[in-house]
A = this chain, B = another copy of it.
Amino acid sequence: MIELESLINAHTDGYSLEQDFYLAPEIFDHDMTKLLSRRWLLVDHESRIPSTGDYFLFEVGVESIIIIRDEERQVNAFFNVCRHRGSRICSDLEGNRSRLTCPYHSWTYNLEGELRQPTLMPSDFDKSKFSLHSCHTRVFHGLIFICLTEDTPPDFDREFGEFSDILDFHGFSQAKIAIKRDYPNACNWKLVVENFLECYHCASAHKEYCSVHPKDQLLALGAGPNSGPLEALKAYQPTWDAWKDNVERLGHPLPEFANDEHSLHMSQLSRLPINDKSFDSETRDGSLGSKKLMGQFKECDQGETAIVFNPVSYILASNDFAMMARFTPRDVVNTDVQLTWLVHEDAKPNEDYDPDNIAWIWDTTIKQDKKITMNNHAGVLSSRYQPGRYSTQESMVVQFIRWYLNAIS
C-alpha cells in the first residue's frame, strides 16, 4: 500500500512530484475522490445542446455523465446509470432524447431525471426514490460546468463571480461551437496540467506557437502573469503597459487576478497582447480568424484573454474566437484532451471563418504537447526518476503542485 501521508511529507517544494503520484492507481482514485470530484469542471458550451432533449456524454474516470437540456430549457446532468440494474441509459456520445429510456428494461425518466412508474415492480416500490442520480450543474455565460460530488459543491458564484464581466464582454452566451477535436493522451493528468502551465518548453517544442507570440512575452508571461521570471516580466512590462493603454482607450476591460494554491480552484484571469507586431487574432499571420467579433468587441484590441477556471478547465479568447481546453482524467495513465473553438453565434463557416485556420495554432501545439507529455510519462517510469527542480519560468507549475498537495492532504 502507498502511504500517502509520508509521500506528501517527502515532497520538496519547487520540485516535481514523487513517482507514485504519477503512476499509482490508488493515488489516482484519491485524485478523483478528494480533488476532482469536489471542483467545478468546465465540460462544454451550451450551444452543443440547443434544443430540448439534446444531450452529450461527459466521460471522466469511471463515470459517464448525461448532460441534457430539458423542456424548460434548463441544462441538467445525470449519472448514466439506470436505477434498476445499473445499465448505461445512453450509449451514443450525443443525440436527442424526448425521455431517458434505459435500453435494457425500458425504465423511463423524464428530462428532470424523475422515474415514470415502471411496470411490474413490487407494490411497495416507491418510484420517487429512484430518480436518476443527478450531478451538480451550472450554466454560466453559456458555459456548462458540473461537479461530481454527492455532497454540497463549492459555491459557484463565490468561486467564479469575478469572471462574469469578462465572459459577458466576450459574449460567451452568444457564442457557438465552430470545431471540436479530441487528443486522447496516454499519460497521467498531472503531467498534462504541468505541461500546460509553463512556457519553459515553448522554445524547444512549439515553433509555430513561438511564431505567433513574441519570445520576450512568452518568457515573461507565457503561462500567465505569474509564470515567468521577475526580470523577464520587468523587461516586458513597457510593451504590456503600452498595449494596456490602448485597451483602456478603447474602453475594453483589463481584469487581472490569480488565486493561489490555497484557493479551491486556483482560478486566474488576465489579458495580454497577442504579439507586439500587429496581430488581431491568434492565427498564423495575425489576421482575424472570424469576421464577426465576439461579444462587445467593436474594434480589435489585439489582445488575448486567458481564463483559468481550474487547472483542467481553460479558455483562451481572442476578440474574434475562443479556444476552450478540457483535460479529463480517465485513469492513472490516460487523460482525454479536448479542444473546442467558439465563434460568434452568427458567424458562418467558410464565409465568416475558416475552421482549420482558427484551429491551426492550438491543434498544432496540443499535438506537440501530447508527444512530449507521453515522453515525460515514459521517463517517469524509470527507477532513476527523481523529483526535479522547476525553473523560474515554471512558477505556475510549482503553484499547481502546492495546490494539488493541499487538496489531497
Contact = CB atoms under 8 A, between A and B. Distances in A.
Interface of A: 14, 16, 62-64, 79-89, 91, 101-106, 118-122, 125, 130, 133, 194, 200-201, 203-205, 229, 372, 375-376, 378-386, 388-393
A388 B86 contact: yes
B200 A105 contact: yes
A215 B385 CA distance: 51
Contact of A80 (B63, B379, B388): B379
Nearest to A391: B120
Give how many copies assemble into the complex: 3
Contact of A391 (B121, B201, B391): B121
Contacts of A203: 106
Contacts of A82: 379, 388
Contact of A120 (B83, B101, B200): B200
A376 B86 contact: yes
Nearest to A392: B120
A86 B379 CA distance: 5
A106 B204 contact: yes
B85 A194 contact: yes
17 contacts: A62-B381, A64-B378, A64-B379, A79-B382, A80-B382, A82-B379, A84-B388, A86-B379, A87-B379, A89-B379, A101-B204, A103-B204, A104-B201, A104-B205, A105-B391, A120-B392, A121-B391
Contact of A16 (B16, B85, B89, B378): B85
B81 A379 contact: yes
Given A62-B382, A389-B121, A372 B80 contact: no
A39 to B, nearest CB: 16
B391 A103 contact: no
Nearest to A122: B392
A105 B389 CA distance: 12
Contacts of A205: 103-104
Given A104-B205, A105-B204, 7 more contacts: A63-B382, A64-B382, A79-B382, A86-B382, A89-B379, A103-B375, A125-B389
Contacts of A104: 201, 204-205, 372, 375-376
Nearest to A90: B375
B63 A372 contact: no
A388 B62 contact: no
Nearest to A219: B120
A133 B385 CA distance: 9
A16 B392 contact: no
Contacts of A385: 81, 86
Contacts of A204: 101-106
Nearest to A194: B85
A380 B84 CA distance: 11
B372 A79 contact: no
A84 B390 CA distance: 7
A79 B386 CA distance: 12
Contacts of A87: 372, 375-376, 379
Contacts of A376: 85-88, 104
Given A103-B204, A205-B103, A86 B122 contact: no
A105 to B, nearest CB: 5
